[in-house]
Amino acid sequence: GFKCGIVGLPNVGKSTLFNALTKAGIDAENFPFCTIEPNAGVVPVPDPRQDKLAAIVKPEKTIATTMEFVDIAGLVAGASKGEGLGNKFLANIRETDAIAHVVRCFDDDNVIHVANKVDPLADIEIINTELALADLDTVERVHNRQTRAAKGGDVEAKAQVALCERLLPILNEAKPVRALDYSDEELRHLKSLQLLTSKPTLYIANVSEDGFEGNPHLDALNALAATENATVVAICNKLESEIAELDDDERQEFLADLGMAEPGLDRVIRAGYELLGLHTYFTAGVKEVRAWTVKKGATAPQGAGVIHTDFEKGFIRAEVIAYDDFVSLGGEAGAKEAGKWRLEGKDYILKDGDVVHFRFNV
Ligand code: GDP
């Protein structure tokens, strides 16, 4: 599965967010450094399209696709030097595919701030510095090793050295390397370095209920994110944790009272999904309508492999109907009549929303 790690300084609202995400009921305590073990939660990805498909197909059940959030707590300044839980923290981040960095943008005198002041940019700098220092270590090691190899005429090593020399000044300024643009060739080498600051990053601005507009903390965060290829989602974690406690009917009523079309969490989950470079295809049979996740650019056999590895191995063809056609033509029969039902081969690249039926040998 695809994992999004939730990071942030202590007491910014990580556990509150994570609890709302999973409704797991892990204690959010008003004490810094209280959450230590990384916790993982699998959440359904909200997608109104699956309900539209279900309204047409009338299946026995409808199943959403999922993604995983991991609550990674325990960062202290000095983590990159292996202090405290630092090493474990960095190792946990390394295992994720993307980073959701929670930043405190709410003022509340009752909630202790570790630096005694709400200042999102200063908070971000603390964490980004630790990540950049860890990366600096990695890049310096690779640079030294590949410089020697490059002297022996190794072309790949030469390219690595050139890339490292672009990265070093950025990391020396404690900036994330995702801020740079890369050629395809450089991207290939960058991937092999597995740097923490190259991971796709989303800043989650934890604002108060009335903090969505005219909030200087949020404005500052948006400006920073724009300079380093990161995105921002603003939500009120406290409100979200209350919404998550409600049953479905109460929730609809509560959201309507607040004038919200959906829980803010749905925006976070979708932003995480987007950040991971994922999209969705559907299978739509009378037994079940189901959403499946693939990396953007995945081929039909790779998509089949998400359902079962045998489907990928034995792939023959995919019967495909574009989502819009399926819905506007009232399902498979209508799409067939209108000539919108296609047979695709092994090189077909799945599109977001495709309604697919795989044919395979067993
Ligand atoms: P963590 O250490 O980052 O996991 O932070 P927690 O989720 O444990 O939150 C720390 C404290 O801040 C708790 O007392 C929460 O109730 C409180 N808190 C979290 N989000 C909000 C929020 O949006 N507004 C306010 N006022 N308090 C919050």
Most informative mutation of 22, 71, 103, 111 for ligand 1 (most atoms within 8 A of CB): 111
**ipTM, 2 decimals?**
0.94
Banded pLDDT at 282 (limits 50, 70, 90): very high
Residue 32 CA, closest ligand 1 atom number: 2
Tens of pLDDT, residues 80-124: 666 655 677 888 899 899 999 999 998 877 777 766 778 899 999
With a 6 Å cutoff on the Cβ, whether 236 touches ligand 1 is yes
Tens of pLDDT, residues 221-245: 999 999 998 999 999 998 998 998 8
What average pLDDT does the chain have?
Answer: 89
Scanning the structure block, which residue is given the tokens 């989650």? 204
Task: Give yes or no for a contact between 142 and 52, defined as CB atoms under 8 angstroms apart.
Answer: no
Give the C-alpha separation, 169 to 143, whole Å.
Answer: 13
CA torsion angle 113 114 117 122 (round to 10): -130
Res 248: pLDDT: 83
List the chain domain ranges: 3-275, 297-360
Res 29: pLDDT: 45
Res 200: pLDDT: 95
Fold: same for 3-275 and 297-360:
no
Please give the annotated binding residues for ATP, written as ranges.
11-16
Res 110: pLDDT: 76
Interval between CA 218 and ligand 1 midpoint (Å): 17
Q: Which CATH number fits domain 297-360: 3.10.20.30, 2.160.20.10, 1.10.150.240, 3.40.50.460?
A: 3.10.20.30
With a 6 Å cutoff on the Cβ, whether 107 touches ligand 1 is no
User: Side-chain half-sphere of 351: how many Cα atoms within 13 Å?
Assistant: 10
Res 97: pLDDT: 93
Q: Judge whether residue 24 has pLDDT over 50.
A: no
Q: Which residue owns the Cα nearest ligand 1 atom 13? A: 30
**Nearest one of 1, 6, 18, 2 to 203, comparing CA atoms:** 6
With a 6 Å cutoff on the Cβ, whether 11 touches ligand 1 is yes
Coil, strand or helix: which one is 283?
A: strand
Interval between CA 14 and ligand 1 midpoint (Å): 7
Interval between CA 16 and ligand 1 midpoint (Å): 6
Tens of pLDDT, residues 186-204: 999 999 999 999 999 999 9
Res 75: pLDDT: 64
Res 346: pLDDT: 96
**Nearest one of 303, 312, 284, 280 to 349, comparing CA atoms:** 303
Interval between CA 348 and ligand 1 midpoint (Å): 46
Specify the pTM. 0.86
Res 114: pLDDT: 66
Res 51: pLDDT: 95
Scanning the structure block, which residue is given the tokens 């923290």? 89
Q: How many angstroms separate the Cα of 93 from the Cα of each of 45, 74, 137, 201?
A: 22, 11, 16, 12
Task: Give yes or no for a contact between 291 and 88, defined as CB atoms under 8 angstroms apart.
Answer: no
Interval between CA 7 and ligand 1 midpoint (Å): 14
* Maximal C-alpha separation, the chain: 70
Res 142: pLDDT: 96
Selected residue with higher pLDDT from 202 and 34 = 202
Q: How far apart are the first and last CA of the chain?
A: 25
Tens of pLDDT, residues 296-335: 999 999 999 999 999 999 999 999 999 999 999 999 999 9
CATH architecture of 3-275: 3-Layer(aba) Sandwich (3.40)
* Bridge pairing between strands 61-63 and 98-104: unpaired
Q: Judge whether residue 145 has pLDDT over 50.
A: yes
Please give the annotated binding residues, written as ranges.
11-16
Q: Judge whether residue 174 has pLDDT over 60.
A: yes
Interval between CA 195 and ligand 1 midpoint (Å): 29
Residue 206 CA, closest ligand 1 atom number: 23
With a 6 Å cutoff on the Cβ, whether 10 touches ligand 1 is yes
Scanning the structure block, which residue is given the tokens 């949020």? 218
